[in-house]
Amino acid sequence: MNEQSLKGKSAFITGSVQGIGYGIAQSFAQAGAKLAVHGICDQKEADNVVQHMKDFGAADAKFFNGDLRDAGVIDTLMHAVEDWSGGVDILVNNAGIQKTAALTDVDNELWDSIIAVNLSAAFHTMRFALPRMAQRKYGRVVNISSVHGLVASINKAPYVSAKHGLVGLSKVVALEYASVGDASTGGVTVNCICPGWTSTTLVAPQFEQRAKEIGGSFEDGVKSILAEKQPSLRMSETSEIGSLALWLCQISSHNVTGTSIPIEGGWTAQ
């Protein structure tokens, strides 16, 4: 893949100051994209992420904040990103929140927050961006769902509902925009990536706790947890998610739309 394959393209990635979103942003920066990054952090961390993206090769980078639980804030955010970027060519809906709880322990506030960030925010950003992409006859939406957009686990009712909903929403929108453009322009595509266990700082405490429980190393804790669901016994790296997202944004991927691609070591094959 050409190292500057996104040169001249602008990308907006929600939740991109850490984890999977950061890995995707890094891949896009290395491909020469102009990057709008977003997340919840202080100004120093935001400045560091922007500088890192420029160091990785981004044509330009800027941090945008905004509470994705609020539709009005999202509209303001999208206008700001559009004005700065000159047009969002690539939208990655990555931001997400999760909290495990039994169904009867899920209160209204928790349900509403998880649905808002993991599902409704993608609806609002796509509704803004896609008509503008269609005018340019090129556009890419990559929605970061989850293995839990394909299968369920206990104590995750809001999260599983949101991620299943994101997969369904993406299919509908992909069909609505499938005929835009052609192979030469790249068309407009909408796809989901569905990661399983991925190596981020957010999941590390779970592995550390399991390691203590079994009296083993951190790696033993990882394998113990992964053995329950992920047959490869290997976590994915955020850079691997980034590589797939980058491939989906290529002109040559114009006929890949409406898909939900798992990266989960065989989890859903069982």
Residues serving a catalytic function are 159
Max CA distance (Å), the chain? 58
CA pair distance 11, 139, nearest whole angstrom: 10
The helix or strand, by DSSP H or E, that contains position 92, with its residue range, turns out to be strand 90-93
CA pair distance 46, 36, nearest whole angstrom: 11
Look up residue 151 and give its DSSP letter. Answer: S
- Beta carbons of 155 and 100 less than 8 angstroms apart: yes
Q: Is 181 left (phi over 0), alpha (psi -120 to 50) or beta?
A: left
> Any bridge partners for residue 220, and if so which?
none
How long is the chain?
Answer: 270
Q: Where are the alpha helices (DSSP H) in 31-156?
A: 43-56, 71-85, 108-115, 121-136
State how beta strands 90-93 and 60-64 pair: unpaired
CA pair distance 68, 60, nearest whole angstrom: 24
CA dist 7 → 2, 90, 264 (Å): 10, 12, 30
Q: How many Cα atoms within 13 Å fall on the side-chain side of residue 26? A: 17
